[in-house]
Amino acid sequence: MLAINSSERVGRLCDGVSRRNFLRIGALGVGGITLADLLRADDAAGTSSHKAVINIHLAGGPSHQDTFDLKPSAPTEFRGEFVPIQTNVPGLEVCEHLPLLAKSADKFAVVRSLTGSVADHSDYPTQTGFDRGNLKALGGRPSIGCVAGKLLGDSGTGAPPFVSYNGVYTGFLSSVYKPYKPQGGELRLRDDMSADRLRSRTDLLTCLDRLRRDVDNSGQMEALDAYAQRAVQVVTSGRVADALDLNKEDAKVRERYGDHGKMFLTARRLVESGVRVVTVNWGSWDTHSNNFGHLRGQLPRLDQSLSALLEDLHDRGLDKDVTVVMWGEFGRTPRVNNNKGGRDHWYEVAMCLLAGGGMRTGQAIGKSNKFAERAVDRPVHLQEVFATLYHNLGIDVRTTTIIDPAGRPQYLVDRREPIRELL
């Protein structure tokens, strides 16, 4: 069941629905926001086409030199145990444990010279483009999903603009722009609550008066307002509930993604339902020990799931509108550590994979030195990736600002040029 935290006191509302069940119907999940709040996003900047981003965070920091930037000519203590294989793009190689992605390399681009990583075991930088200290006094920086909700609003399908399985970083923006965080179960009407009853604005507003005190004191739900009717439509439309129900997907497609790829399949279904930004965590990549043993199990699963997502987006004609980005919080040390066979944290250079969004894929951008220690050709800053993601959503970061709580306009990123090689 999707529910927000509420008082243990359970009363009855005017239509016979318990106060607790009303909160379950009217809210999007623990750590999320009310449906009414989520639909209060600005409508003026809405677009007719639906652009979306799937932001995949590889938690722990993936090893760049063991995945997409192998160094076969380096000494053993640097190159490690894996060898590169040729992809379907001449001159582009990937790890031997990514054979399916090797066959789909024309559908993605790899940045081998990503800079801007910080010493933070968190998805904050890969959701916001900044470190935690930036604008900390004002609440910090908002994630790209919150920004999309603020500037673009919902897509008009009944789906929320932002769904996150990651951290919640609204930054200096209002809690109105918090994401929907699925908690399992179904987002559907109870059998004893008809769509007509739920749609009744009069009934909702009457019930609101009885809820107001508990709601305001809890701080988990703002009073319903003129957007309440549209919030109800999210529930009654069933779009999000259907997207989260993988049993509605063709069995052959589910098999293609594999059990470990359910998150990727869900993300694809969510953007199809009208969600603008979906963020997910996938796997564990903090390989201080047994780096190669761990990756031998991890990489084939990623290979199957990610290649299925890229092929699926292409087959469904979504690759022009949906951008996929995959990265971690930093890279791993060029030298394998002596006693544990692992790689430790490395902030000088990392990798990033980008696909879809109508971009020029089938290429590697940038280059690290012979030991994968630092970028030596075309360094690409973390914020350039964000500038590209915003560009693909239809947001011009060179001119767009958001007013912060102090009344000052804030640009979305400090580096405001998208990656030119992709456009």
* pLDDT score at 266: 97
CATH code of the domain containing 160:
3.40.720
* pLDDT score at 195: 53
Please, which residues have CB within 8 angstroms of residue 232's CB and are 6 or more apart in sequence? 35, 198, 199, 204
Q: pLDDT tens digits for 365-400?
A: 999 999 999 999 999 999 999 999 999 999 999 999
In this structure, the answer to whether residues 134 and 278 fall within a common structural domain is yes
Cβ count within 10 A of residue 339: 6
With beta carbons less than 8 A apart as the criterion, state whether 406 and 136 touch: no
In this structure, the answer to whether residues 232 and 288 fall within a common structural domain is no
Q: Which amino acid is at 177?
A: Y
* pLDDT score at 158: 84
In this structure, the answer to whether residues 244 and 353 fall within a common structural domain is yes
* pLDDT score at 239: 85
* Residue with the two structure tokens 């993605």: 108
What is each CA distance from 325 to 225, 238, 379, 390, 422, in whole angstroms?
A: 36, 28, 17, 12, 13
Q: What's the total number of domains in the chain? A: 2
Domain that residue 126 falls in: 50-182+239-422
* pLDDT score at 3: 32
In a domain, 158, yes or no: yes
In a domain, 316, yes or no: yes
* pLDDT score at 356: 98
Q: pLDDT tens digits for 314-325?
A: 999 999 999 999
In a domain, 390, yes or no: yes
In a domain, 207, yes or no: yes
- Residue 287 and residue 8: Cα distance in Å, rounded? 43
In this structure, the answer to whether residues 176 and 196 fall within a common structural domain is no
In a domain, 5, yes or no: yes
In this structure, the answer to whether residues 221 and 154 fall within a common structural domain is no
In this structure, the answer to whether residues 6 and 59 fall within a common structural domain is no
Largest interatomic CA distance in the chain: 74
In this structure, the answer to whether residues 212 and 256 fall within a common structural domain is no
* pLDDT score at 339: 78
- Residue 102 and residue 96: Cα distance in Å, rounded? 9
In this structure, the answer to whether residues 133 and 103 fall within a common structural domain is yes
**DSSP classification of residue 153:** -
Q: What is the pLDDT along the chain (423 residues), one digit of tens a residue?
A: 333 333 333 333 344 444 344 333 343 333 444 444 444 443 434 444 589 999 999 999 999 999 999 999 999 999 999 999 999 999 999 999 999 999 999 999 999 999 999 999 999 999 999 999 999 999 999 999 999 999 999 898 889 999 999 999 999 998 889 998 887 655 555 555 555 555 555 456 556 555 554 555 444 444 344 345 445 555 666 788 899 999 999 999 999 999 999 999 999 999 999 999 999 999 999 999 999 999 999 999 999 999 999 999 999 999 999 999 999 999 999 999 987 899 999 999 999 999 999 999 999 999 999 999 999 999 999 999 999 999 999 999 999 999 999 999 999 999 999 999 999
**DSSP classification of residue 189:** -
In this structure, the answer to whether residues 415 and 347 fall within a common structural domain is yes
Which of these three, 204, 220, 237, is where a domain ends?
A: 237
Q: pTM for this structure?
A: 0.82
DSSP string for 46-59:
--SS--EEEEEE-T
* pLDDT score at 121: 95
With vertex at residue 384, the alpha carbon angle to CA 380 and CA 390, rounded to the nearest 5 degrees, is 150
* pLDDT score at 27: 39
* pLDDT score at 26: 40
In this structure, the answer to whether residues 306 and 403 fall within a common structural domain is yes
